[in-house]
Amino acid sequence: MTDYKPYLIGLYAAASLAGIYFIRVHIVLNGGGDVLATSCMLPPFTRASAYALPYVPGWATGFLCTLSEFFLGALEPGTPAWRTAMECIGSLAVPVAVGWLEASRGGSSPWVALPVLWGLAYQTLGGGIVLPLQMLAILLTSDAPQRIRQGQISRADAEGAFLGVGLGYIAPTVYLALRPGTLIAAAWQPFPVYVSAIQLLYSQLRKLVTPASKKLDGYWATQATYAVAAVPGLLAHLRVVYSIINSVNFIKELQTLFIPNVVNLSPGAALNAAAQHMLKWDNALMYGSTLVTALWLAYELGKGFEPPTAIALVQGVPAFGPGPVMAAAWIWRERGLRQMRGELAKLELAEKEKEKEKEPAGAGAGAGAGAGAGGEAEGKGKGARKIKASGVEQEGSGSGSDTPLRRSKRNRSRRVD
């Protein structure tokens, strides 16, 4: 990944900058921001009173009002924005699961370890702006040796993420989609706090009742979390497709769900139209970055994941929606990580066995040279074994060790040649 790192940073940074322009700037220019400000932040505050809470400052009430009214305007049934909004909130379960599961992985970077901060950031600033940066942080830290070799997710954390995503995000989202209203729209906004609180509470209780000597692998709970996270996106997509299946311009209607408009709306646009314009860019940038991250990481592992597979997954978006496709890519990547850890463990075991076979010869030479020289040789032998074992971990560090990850990359480059 080192050779491509500058290009990846540039790509994800450009996606975030595009989000700032097409989401934040466009909604101000097309008049959608004025509608929200007039309703919630400017006198006579026609809608802000519905979100007023005791001991909460007026500016916070106004901000909560703008977020809630935006989604309520987008979720108005039978409107074009409703379809885009349903796709958005349904498929968002997968990036939410990715953020909390990657934070639970052993050896996680501080940039990845606090998904609640990322979640609150994309809830307030916009998912199309923040999620590409979160995916970039995951991408740049996932290839580190300790993340591959020691990056297992414990069963307690994986099961906690399963419950957190299910109860903290999916359940409130289903209620919001079925019965939108001011109370549920306001309560839905801080869902990252719900997900983190549920995962933390469950994982701590699980660890208390699990013996410390018993290490439980969370692989299947991780895969189950991705599978469950794909369900709301699939159901939302099928519901949206059902609503336009009888349309004369079905293909065109389907395209409008995923292809955002580069040209902004005219000033004075209605809130519903402005919300659709904004959410289409949100969907493209959020789910595009999440899918590309999974495809790249899976390809880097080299476990049978080739460009034709990636193309087939992308082609599944119109049929199944972005949620199931993203989940499938992350499931494949998790499977590749497990296989890679198994191969690295076997290689390390083989290296230790080779060192044991060399020990008798080294011991005889050391005895002939005297006790002091023998102790020095033994110290060097132990040091050599430590260096050799660390070479298994330090993929790409220039140590010259031939790890499975390096062999898979070399074989893939030969096939390309």
The residue with greater pLDDT, 89 or 410, is 89
Residues 6+ apart with CB under 8 A from 341: 148, 149, 151, 152
Q: What is the pLDDT of residues 272-296, one digit of tens each?
A: 999 999 999 999 999 999 999 999 9
Tell me the mean pLDDT in the region 369-397: 44
Largest CA distance in the chain: 96
pLDDT at position 35 over 90? no
Domain boundaries, the chain: 2-30+75-342
Contacting residues for 228 by C-beta, under 8 A, at least 6 apart: 93, 162, 165, 166, 170
For residue 114, the model assigns a pLDDT of 92
Is the pLDDT confidence value at 100 over 90?
A: yes
Rounded Cα distance between 271 and 38, Å, is: 12
- Each residue of 171-183: pLDDT tens digit? 999 999 999 998 8
Q: Taking residues 358-386, what's their average pLDDT?
A: 49
Residue 247: predicted pLDDT: 82
* Predicted local confidence at residue 41, as pLDDT: 75
Least confident of 15-19, 50-54, 145-149, 338-342: 145-149
Q: What is the rounded average pLDDT for all residues in the chain?
A: 83
What's the confidence (pLDDT) of residue 383? Answer: 42
**How confident is the model over 333-368, as pLDDT tens digits?**
999 888 888 887 788 888 888 888 877 655 544 444
Model pLDDT for residues 140-154, shown as the tens digit of each residue: 887 655 566 667 899
C-alpha–C-alpha distance, residues 90 and 252, integer Å: 22
What mean pLDDT do residues 92-113 have? 90
Tell me how far apart the alpha carbons of residues 195 and 248 are, in angstroms, rounded to a whole number.
42
pLDDT of res. 191 = 97
Please give the pLDDT value at position 337.
86
Lowest mean pLDDT among 153-167, 224-238, 337-351, 383-397: 383-397
What confidence tier does 238 reach under pLDDT thresholds 50, 70, 90? very high
Phi-psi region of 77 (alpha: psi -120 to 50; beta: other; left: phi over 0): beta
Give 274 or 44, the one with higher predicted confidence. Answer: 274
Alpha carbons within 13 angstroms on the beta-carbon side of residue 32 total 27
pLDDT at 385 over 60: no
**What local confidence, expressed as pLDDT, does residue 411 receive?**
53
pLDDT score at 330: 95
Which DSSP string corresponds to 105-122? STT--TTTS-HHHHHHHH
74/20 Cα distance (integer angstroms): 20
Query: Look-up: residue for tokens 């969907």?
Result: 283
Q: In 58-92, where does DSSP find H-type helix? A: 58-74, 80-91
Distance between CA atoms of residues 139 and 141, nearest Å? 6
Contacts with 366 (C-beta within 8 Å, 6 or more apart), sequence order: 373, 374, 375, 377, 378
Instruction: Report d(CA 161, CA 199) in Å as an integer.
Output: 5
Bond prior to 308 in cis (omega within 30° of 0): no
Which amino acid, 378? E
Q: How many CA atoms lie within 13 A of 116 on its CB side?
A: 13
Q: Is 305 helix (H, G, I), strand (E, B) or coil?
A: coil
For residue 306, pLDDT beyond 60? yes
The model's confidence at residue 413, banded by pLDDT at 50, 70 and 90, is low
Strand (E) positions, 262-394?
Answer: none
Average pLDDT estimate for 10-24: 95
**Above pLDDT 90, what percent of the chain?**
48
370 in Cβ contact with 411 (< 8 Å): no
Q: Which amino acid is at 364?
A: G
For the record, the structure tokens of 415 come out as: 């096939």
d(CA 406, CA 410): 6
More confident residue, 103 or 50: 103
Q: Give the pLDDT score at 373.
A: 46
Give me the residue label for tokens 């399963």.
162
More confident residue, 282 or 306: 282
> In 3D, which of 63, 61, 66, 88 has the Cα closest to residue 75?
88
CB neighbourhood size of 179 (10 A): 9
